[in-house]
Structure 1
Amino acid sequence: MQHSLSTPVIGFAGFSGSGKTTLLECVIPHLKAAGLRVGLLKHSHHDIEPDSPRKDSYRLRYAGSDQLLLATSKRHMLFFEYHDTPEREPSLHECLIQLDHSRLDIILVEGFRDEVLTKIEVYRPSYGKPKLHAEDANIVAVASDEPLDSLAPREIHSLNLNNAEEIALFVRHWLANASDEEKYLPYFNDKTARTAHTIE
């Protein structure tokens, strides 16, 4: 059973400062070396400005366009501007459907900690933050910089946060062996997704 948006999704969840971005920066090259086409979706609570007032794209966005696609031979950048809508956090699903799934084998998600998707927790005991896996049944592995005495009473894999190759191997194994429910969980879970996209 494969979803019509057919790219598996796995998240990297953890509290701010746990090292999610640094870990992904090290894991992605291993996945690319294995031949995978990798998409990345990063959630931020901060306002972002990816270009400067000197750039044409900036001038055209601030002229009032609601969407702008900047296309070059090397990359495309798509901007969505929400001028007239109340400020709210984007949902995981609405971000996923903006990606070109035909060019991807896997999507890695950084953030969206509270959304329903299969996740690897990035956990540093020394930070004194709560363990997410104790409350989140969708966490399938914990990457930690210290050995963990115990994990939640279910099958959760323990990974070495300082070994990006090991974590990349886990992601590849998950991609090859996980159930469709685990791989496509955001699509199965989202009500909008269920009505707008059929399960084949």
Structure 2
Amino acid sequence: MKLYGVAGWKNSGKTGLMERLVTEFTARGLTVSTVKHTHHRVDLDQPGKDSYRHREAGAQEVLMVSGSRWALLHELCDAPEPPFEDLIARMSPVDLLLIEGYKTGTHPKIEAHRQVTGKAPFAGDDPTVRALASDQPEAIVLDRPVFDLDDTRAIADFIAGDLSL
């Protein structure tokens, strides 16, 4: 399974780029899964729902199953967040696993960058960032490729080439 990340500062366009890349790669016939890392507390079910009640009662894991999907909710119970590699090992094999976040991970990645964040790209200091996708590519000077953030096809072509897909 090949991995590629999309990283960037908050509000840099990561999620939109991820959506477009999933659409582009699946249109090319690849199987794609995603990982989304966040620093915020996440609750996938809602108070009052049976699965929520199971977790609140103390269940360490709750497996929700329907005719259209299943989801495994695992409570950390004050344990540290598992290592990235351990989580990836739980994923079903696909052609491409796209990872949003995990900015400091060792996997190859594209940095999404928007001027409105007010932050400089971190790509210059990080060799795992193979290219930058910016809303103002002409204003960025780097020793690696810089793409227009909305040029999904060119970004996908770059990733495919980098991974020999």
User: What is the TM-score when the length of structure 2 is the normalising length?
Assistant: 0.90
1:173 to 135, 157, 161: 161
Percent identical across equivalent pairs? 34
Alpha-carbon distance in structure 2 between the residues aligned to 1:55 and 1:126: 39
Q: For 1:59, what is the secondary structure of its paired residue?
A: helix
Q: Who is 1:130 aligned against?
A: 120
Q: Who is 1:157 aligned against?
A: 145
Q: For 1:130, what is the secondary structure of its paired residue?
A: coil
User: Offset of 1:77 from its aligned partner?
Assistant: 0.3
Alpha-carbon distance in structure 1 between the residues aligned to 2:48 and 2:5: 35
1:47 partnered with 2:44:
no
Structure 1 residue ranges (4+ consecutive) displaced by more than 6 angstroms after TM superposition = none
User: How many residue pairs were aligned?
Assistant: 164
8 Å contact kept, 2:140–2:146:
no
8 Å contact kept, 1:11–1:117:
yes
Q: Who is 2:11 aligned against?
A: 17
Q: Who is 2:84 aligned against?
A: 92
2:133 to 137, 143, 146: 143
User: Offset of 1:126 from its aligned partner?
Assistant: 4.6
Alpha-carbon distance in structure 1 between the residues aligned to 2:140 and 2:101: 26
What 5-or-longer segments of structure 1 have no aligned partner? 1-6, 178-200
8 Å contact kept, 1:12–1:120:
yes
User: Offset of 1:149 from its aligned partner?
Assistant: 4.5
Letter in 2 for 1:63: A
Q: Who is 2:67 aligned against?
A: 73
Alpha-carbon distance in structure 1 between the residues aligned to 2:21 and 2:36: 15
Alpha-carbon distance in structure 1 between the residues aligned to 2:12 and 2:21: 15
8 Å contact kept, 2:6–2:109:
yes
1:115 to 97, 101, 105: 105
Letter in 2 for 1:111: G
RMSD: 1.7
Q: For 1:29, what is the secondary structure of its paired residue?
A: helix
Instruction: Map 1:172-191 to 2 at 5 A.
Output: 172-176=160-164
Q: For 2:147, what is the secondary structure of its paired residue?
A: strand
Alpha-carbon distance in structure 2 between the residues aligned to 1:22 and 1:90: 26
